[in-house]
Amino acid sequence: MSSFLEEILRVKEQEVTALPDRPTFERNITLKPSLRKRLLESDHLQIVAEFKRASPSKGIIVDTLLPVERAKRYEDAGAAAVSVLTDQTFFRGSLQDLREIAESVQIPVLRKDFIISEKQLREAHAAGADIVLLIVAALSSERLAELRHFAAELGLETLIEIHNERELETALAVEPDILGINNRNLHTFEVSLQTTEQLMTQIPSSIPVLSESGMATPDDAQRVAIAGVSGLLIGETLMRQGDDQLPGVLRGFQVKRFPLVKGSY
């Protein structure tokens, strides 16, 4: 039986074949501040807040929010970056969402998709992304290295996503700007914060790490903060908050980092 990830990648291959070699539009915004730098320097967990209407594991999460409005609220509430799901088939996102958001906020924007081709990186750059996700489980180590280097040539930071020790080794070999530990297994959709706790023991402290998926309460943040991460990538929990609750909820996740970075006492 094929996994969810394999199914998504099959569809993605077809979509990418249909893409033009070069995007038909041009980047019209300047580069935003570096998320990597913010993660390295901060003494509290930094939040990457995701715009996510739906997912294959949850179905529709919310389909009434407007991307620009919500992204501005994330920014006002203190998010360090906005992650925008651009996959249409499985997540009901679009590159247009990303373009509009990138034009409206000052914080960096992450293109969240299943990137397998240079075409998608050129497109991400043209649409205004500052950071791109590369998923180790979706790529051979050769393709990962090629895409990582092409992203750097375009001036894009890379968030390299892993889920186990074997993937961690592959990721470290390409010197990620930021490592993402996905607590969700993309083959089965099971979520466990233990994934972050276990992998953090193997990661050099010089690399900024985001713990991704399944963050529901400040206790979850505290747990992965103790494991040593620099930030969190949160989708569903933030998407489900009303405008009034959002700032308080987001603040609740910004717990102190461990070990406390120098000068934060």
Ligand X SMILES: O=P(O)(O)OC[C@@H](O)[C@@H](O)c1c[nH]c2ccccc12
For the annotated catalytic residues, the residue numbers are 50, 52, 112, 161, 182, 212-213
Is 130 an interacting residue with respect to ligand X (CB under 6 A)?
Answer: no
Among 177, 235, 253, 255, binds ligand X (CB under 6 A): 235
- Which of 35, 221, 229, 233 binds ligand X (CB under 6 A)? It is 233
Instruction: For residues 103 and 117, give the distance between their C-alpha atoms in angstroms, rounded to a whole number.
Output: 24
**CA of 102: how far to CAs of 33, 84, 206, in Å?**
13, 10, 29
Contact letters (x/-) for ligand X, 142-171, by CB under 6 A? -------------------x----------
Write down the least CB distance from residue 50 to ligand X, Å.
5
Handedness of CA 59, 116, 47, 4 (dihedral sign): positive
Site string for ligand X, 69-108 (x = CB under 6 A): ----------------------------------------
CB-count burial class (<10 Å; 0-12, 13-18, 19+) for 140? exposed
Per DSSP, 12 falls in state H
Q: How far, in whole angstroms, is CA 78 from its chain's centroid?
A: 16
CA 111 to CA 128: how far, in whole Å?
A: 9
Cis preceding-peptide flag for 23 (omega within 30 of 0): no
Cβ–Cβ under 8 Å, residues 141 and 114: no
Q: Which is nearer to ligand X, 27 or 113 (CB)?
A: 113
Contact between 112 and ligand X per CB under 6 A: yes
Short-list 186, 197, 194, 184, CA closest to 234: 184
Q: Which of residues 174-213 bind ligand X (CB under 6 A)?
A: 182, 212-213
223 binds ligand X (CB under 6 A): no
Nearest to 230 by CA among 176, 152, 190, 164: 176
Provide the minimum distance between the beta carbon of 183 and ligand X in the complex, in angstroms, as a whole number: 8
Least spacing, CB of residue 55 vs ligand X, in Å: 6
Q: Which one of the spans 35-43, 98-106, 230-238, 242-250 is the region binding ligand X (CB under 6 A)?
A: 230-238
- In the complex with ligand X, which residue's Cβ is closer, 127 or 137? 137
Say whether residue 53 binds ligand X (CB under 6 A). Answer: no
Binding residues for ligand X, rule: CB under 6 A, are: 50, 52, 112, 135, 161, 182, 212-215, 233-237
